[in-house]
A and B are shown apart, each in its own frame.
Chain A
């Protein structure tokens, strides 16, 4: 099996130019781009991911410059999926972030053979914790810290629930950190590998954290749910884990699903099974050390 790290710089650029088949859990993305930030991001953050030789990919995506002056003057890039151009162009220096957001968009919009939820998922001792959360709740920061502390990353952004088995499937893609979270995780784990920062995006400054090699090597191992935890960072106080009603958790998860309504009764029954099997909590924390200790106790 060939992985991105096995390719020379020249080979990686050549494959990207004609289309690189990248495996991310159950999906194969055929990525085509000549943009250097895409090459750099894949080289650094996707080094452990397999490169598929299969001709068939789930998603055919491109990052390339639009026609006209914007190829050269304050150059821009755009994300393309097949013939669709779903987003406005972004500055060319944001090409890797554009690719990541576009890949998320593909999964959210098309992966209807799973129930997809806007949540991070990690695994410890054979059970998964699902971390939903409103923007600013500290979900990605906590996910990054857990993933660097013995928890296996399944996803930072989109939980994939198997419609038949109820298991959660990994993708193990890089974790998208924003603004202060970048420095917090760099201080927490100085050896962690980050991609280049993209500044002045519509989400502020963003940078992606490389997933651990173990998470990537195990990206075909699904996992049963153990817990649903709603994290919220507070500017003071000790950690507090409080039981949350399952019914309330269900409604929040349904409202934060990308395709629950598309799936109809199947979505309802899949989510019912997931929530029935999970312990549900609200979690307040201030320091990452407190949070990690709380999660250690949770995982037993």
Chain B
């Protein structure tokens, strides 16, 4: 992905995301639709990063690179793209409307 065409991702504005962590694993509840999901550590990290402000993929990748060990860096791109896709399908995040 090139930086200039990337959307900024944000937490879906309809409702609030509540999270709870159990033994390193996270569940998230979307108050907007009333659904609960058991999410991966990468997804939990993405939601954590987006909680403070919207970020594009490059910014998320840079942030997540500090969460994973060097041996996992080659997998990070694939995992991040899949995670963004899944979180969007679940309605937990969405591209910010005013980004190109």
Residues of A that sit less than 8 Å from B by CB: 245-248, 250-251, 254-255, 260-261, 264-265, 268-269, 272, 275-276
Alpha-carbon gap, A276 to B23, bound state (A): 9
* Across-interface contacts of B27 in A (CB, < 8 A): 247, 250-251
> Are B25 and A246 closer than 8 Å at their CB atoms?
yes
> Are B22 and A247 closer than 8 Å at their CB atoms?
yes
* Across-interface contacts of A246 in B (CB, < 8 A): 22-23, 25
A-B contact pairs, 15 of them (CB 8 A): A246-B25, A247-B25, A247-B26, A247-B38, A248-B25, A248-B38, A250-B22, A250-B27, A250-B36, A254-B29, A255-B36, A265-B16, A265-B31, A268-B36, A276-B20
Among residues of B, the one whose C-beta sits closest to the C-beta of A272 is: B20
Alpha-carbon gap, A273 to B14, bound state (A): 25
Q: Does B37 contact A (CB under 8 A)?
A: yes
> Are A264 and B22 closer than 8 Å at their CB atoms?
no
* Across-interface contacts of A247 in B (CB, < 8 A): 22-23, 25-27, 38
Among residues of A, the one whose C-beta sits closest to the C-beta of B26 is: A247
* Distance between B20 CB and nearest chain A CB, rounded to angstroms: 4
> Are A264 and B34 closer than 8 Å at their CB atoms?
yes
* Across-interface contacts of A275 in B (CB, < 8 A): 22
Alpha-carbon gap, A275 to B36, bound state (A): 14
Alpha-carbon gap, A213 to B43, bound state (A): 50
* Across-interface contacts of A268 in B (CB, < 8 A): 18, 20, 29, 36
